[in-house]
């Protein structure tokens, strides 16, 4: 069978008895200590990925910065880690502003996004001195002008629809004509003129984003030319969207290849003195984490269903946009006797499928099942469906494990009820 271990966080290995080791910690011991399901982050791997992005970008364009797209994994501990490695943060709502500030980020290194920002969120951004607000529409400008006090100017970017359709799922496509995000070039030009005349806003530049889980570098380069046509500005935020490797078949471009294409286009189309910003999210965190489940039921018939103690409550990516994952029985990754099964969750939906058609070795009730590449968009979309208690997050490094997000309790579920 293909090398399942290669999908787990860099540095993962199999112990002599076949047990999975992530961040120097055995998966079975993590499950015993923290329960299942548990989301395990290989801290050293995540730090290395953050440094790679910073080093590779600055080597190609000195006046640049990397901001982590927090929505991919808005855990305070993850935000704090990337800030420690020199990154800024991209936030997409009031809650992400609050966690970013708690994580210790310099507000000047934060970029606020969103196609429907509320008065409260705009007020938070202004109050805390958020460095850049990506304006998505004229209503954003109205709210900002009302919130910014006299004598101050809020730096803004204008989000532009580049008219680039990348090869990805429609639910994570954002740069195509008709996108709900940003403005077509003609409308963007009109709004730029208005912002430049505003006494309370500082027109800093443009923002573009073509989508998520993109496994081809060309759409990123195409988008640069589209924004360049709107004129020269001090700052260009070229977004994120680079895909991650979820399955044996995926071929995700390495960071150097992605940046070669992106910065090559920038050299061809953008001012040499401009500041460039990129916003990696999925490609920053996906590979750094794995989720460990306990098998609760094995049901054989027309299909073999292996049910685990989690599902769409901790991984909504499959149901939301069909993301494919792989999985393995802990301790039996390399056994030759594999049975093709459907791994399903515990939630009352037929769509609660974690992996449809995956080879597992002798799945049995009580086994641990590990799913790699769960660092992006799993924690952030965790939910309480069927009274599900959201799962803990554990950082593993050099054989030491530390809890950074505890498991929800039933008391937590009741805490918002009004007597």
311-330 pLDDT, tens digit per residue, is 999 999 999 989 999 999 99
Supply the DSSP string of 311-376, one letter for each residue: STTT--HHHHH------EETT-TT-S-EEEEEEE-SSS-TT-EEEEEEEEES--TT-EEEEE--SS
| Average pLDDT of the residues of the chain | 93
Q: How much is the pLDDT for 94?
A: 95
Rounded to the nearest 10 degrees, the angle between the axes of helix 138-147 and helix 119-127 is 50
Residue 29 has pLDDT above 90, yes or no: yes
Q: Are residues 220 and 325 in the same domain?
A: no
Q: How much is the pLDDT for 44?
A: 98
Q: Are residues 318 and 201 in the same domain?
A: no
> Which domain covers residue 381, as residue numbers?
4-43+286-414
Mean pLDDT of 10-21: 96
C-alpha distance across the termini of the chain, in Å: 55
Question: For the ranges 29-33, 41-45, 330-334, which has the lowest average pLDDT?
Answer: 330-334
The CATH code of the domain that includes 59 is 3.20.20.10
- Closest by CA to 198, choosing from 158, 154, 161, is 154
Helix/strand/coil for 360:
strand
| C-alpha–C-alpha distance, residues 206 and 235, integer Å | 7
Q: Which of 284, 301, 336 is the last residue of a domain?
A: 284
Q: Which of 284, 314, 348 is the last residue of a domain?
A: 284
Q: Which of 230, 254, 284 is the last residue of a domain?
A: 284
Catalytic residue list? 348
When pLDDT is cut at 50, 70 and 90, the band that residue 214 belongs to is confident
Helix/strand/coil for 48:
helix
| C-alpha–C-alpha distance, residues 173 and 162, integer Å | 12
Q: Are residues 100 and 14 in the same domain?
A: no
- Counting the structural domains of the chain, the total is 2
Q: How much is the pLDDT for 282?
A: 94
> Residue 419 domain-assigned?
no
- % pLDDT > 90, the chain: 85
Q: Are residues 79 and 53 in the same domain?
A: yes
Q: How much is the pLDDT for 223?
A: 85
Question: For the ranges 25-39, 156-170, 372-386, which has the lowest average pLDDT?
Answer: 156-170
Q: How much is the pLDDT for 123?
A: 97
Q: How much is the pLDDT for 118?
A: 96
| C-alpha–C-alpha distance, residues 5 and 352, integer Å | 25
Model confidence over 391-413: pLDDT tens digits? Answer: 999 999 999 999 999 999 999 99
Model confidence over 155-197: pLDDT tens digits? Answer: 999 999 876 544 443 444 344 465 666 798 889 999 999 999 9
Residue 69 has pLDDT above 70, yes or no: yes
The CATH code of the domain that includes 357 is 2.40.37.10
């Amino acid at each position: 069978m293909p090398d399942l271990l290669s999908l787990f966080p860099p540095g993962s290995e199999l112990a002599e008895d076949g047990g999975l080791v992530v961040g120097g910690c055995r998966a079975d011991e993590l499950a015993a200590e923290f329960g299942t399901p548990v989301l395990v982050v290989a801290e050293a791997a995540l730090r290395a990925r953050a440094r790679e992005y910073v080093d590779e970008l600055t080597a190609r364009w000195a006046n640049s910065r990397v901001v982590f797209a927090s929505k991919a994994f808005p855990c305070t501990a993850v935000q704090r880690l990337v800030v420690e490695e020199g990154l800024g943060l991209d936030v997409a709502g009031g809650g992400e502003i609050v966690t970013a500030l708690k994580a210790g980020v310099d507000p000047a290194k934060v970029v606020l996004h969103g196609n429907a920002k509320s008065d409260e969120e705009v007020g938070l951004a202004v109050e805390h001195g958020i460095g850049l607000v990506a304006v998505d529409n004229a209503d954003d400008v109205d709210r900002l002008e009302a919130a910014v006090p006299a004598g101050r100017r809020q730096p803004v970017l204008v989000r532009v629809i580049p008219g680039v359709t990348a090869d990805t799922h429609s639910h994570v496509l954002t740069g195509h004509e008709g996108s709900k995000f940003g403005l077509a070039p003609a409308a963007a030009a009109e709004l730029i003129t208005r912002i430049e005349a505003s006494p309370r806003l500082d027109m800093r530049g443009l923002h573009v984003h073509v989508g998520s889980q993109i496994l081809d570098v060309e759409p990123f380069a195409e988008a640069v030319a589209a924004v360049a046509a709107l004129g020269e500005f001090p700052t260009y935020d070229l977004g994120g969207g680079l895909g991650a490797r979820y399955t044996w078949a995926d071929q995700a471009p390495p960071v150097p290849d992605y940046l070669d294409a992106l910065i090559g286009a920038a050299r061809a189309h953008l001012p040499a003195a401009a500041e460039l910003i990129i916003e990696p999210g999925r490609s920053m965190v996906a590979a750094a984490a794995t989720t460990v489940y306990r098998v609760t039921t094995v049901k054989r018939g027309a299909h073999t269903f292996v049910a685990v103690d989690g599902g769409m409550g901790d991984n909504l990516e499959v149901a939301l946009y069909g993301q494919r994952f792989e999985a393995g029985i802990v301790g039996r990754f390399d056994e030759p006797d594999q049975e093709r099964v459907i791994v399903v969750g515990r939630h009352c939906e037929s769509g609660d499928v974690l992996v449809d058609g995956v080879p597992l070795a002798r799945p049995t009730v009580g086994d641990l099942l590990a799913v790699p590449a769960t660092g992006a968009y799993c924690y952030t979309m965790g939910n309480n469906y069927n009274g599900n208690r959201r799962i803990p997050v554990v950082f593993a490094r050099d054989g030491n494990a530390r809890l950074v997000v505890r498991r929800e309790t039933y008391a937590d579920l009741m805490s918002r009820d009004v007597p």
